[in-house]
Amino acid sequence: MANSRSIEALKGTWDHVADENMDEFMKELGVGMAMRVLAKGIKPRIMISENNGKWTLRSESTLKKKSVEFIPDVEFDDTTPDGREVKTIIRFKNGAWEHTTHEKSGKEWTATRYVNDEGQQQVVRNLSFRITA
């Protein structure tokens, strides 16, 4: 296995174990109650791979499959699981990746993904609001 402080350590297949404060995070994003309740029961399997500089992040659950291909530091159009169109950019920094998403409404959130010293993938989410003219 690659050093846990490197991006290479993220490659592979990961099973969802637990999450904290996800309902509150989704509520702040404006995700409706029905979708939040549904999301609580979903424990996705995440697959991360890379081929010649193009990365793939796949998420599979019993209800939905989603795949995103990206090149680090290049913004791309994306769709959230509840159907909102957004702009996303993924940057690699200090052995982690920062997945930053912008909504037209001004909401912006970042999910920082890394492998901890125990070899577990961690995702830390932060939400902010931009003021647009």
Residue 5 amino acid letter: R
DSSP state of 97: E
Closest CA to 102 of 122, 131, 67: 131
In the prediction, which pLDDT does 22 show? 75
- Where are the domains positioned within the chain? 7-129
pLDDT at 3 over 80: no
pLDDT category at 34 given cuts 50, 70, 90 is confident
Residue 113 amino acid letter: R
pLDDT category at 1 given cuts 50, 70, 90 is very low
Give the C-alpha separation, 43 to 109, whole Å. Answer: 21
Closest CA to 69 of 40, 49, 41, 45: 49
Q: What is the per-residue pLDDT across 50-79, written as a single tens digit (0 to 9) for each?
A: 999 999 999 998 888 899 999 999 999 999
pLDDT category at 129 given cuts 50, 70, 90 is low
Tell me which CATH code domain 7-129 carries. 2.40.128.20
Closest CA to 104 of 132, 81, 76, 126: 132
Question: Between the ranges 40-54, 66-80, 118-132, where is the mean pLDDT highest?
Answer: 66-80
Q: What is the per-residue pLDDT across 72-101, written as a single tens digit (0 to 9) for each?
A: 999 999 998 778 899 999 999 988 999 999
pLDDT at 133 over 50: no
Give yes or no for a contact between 107 and 30, defined as CB atoms under 8 angstroms apart. yes
In the prediction, which pLDDT does 131 show? 47
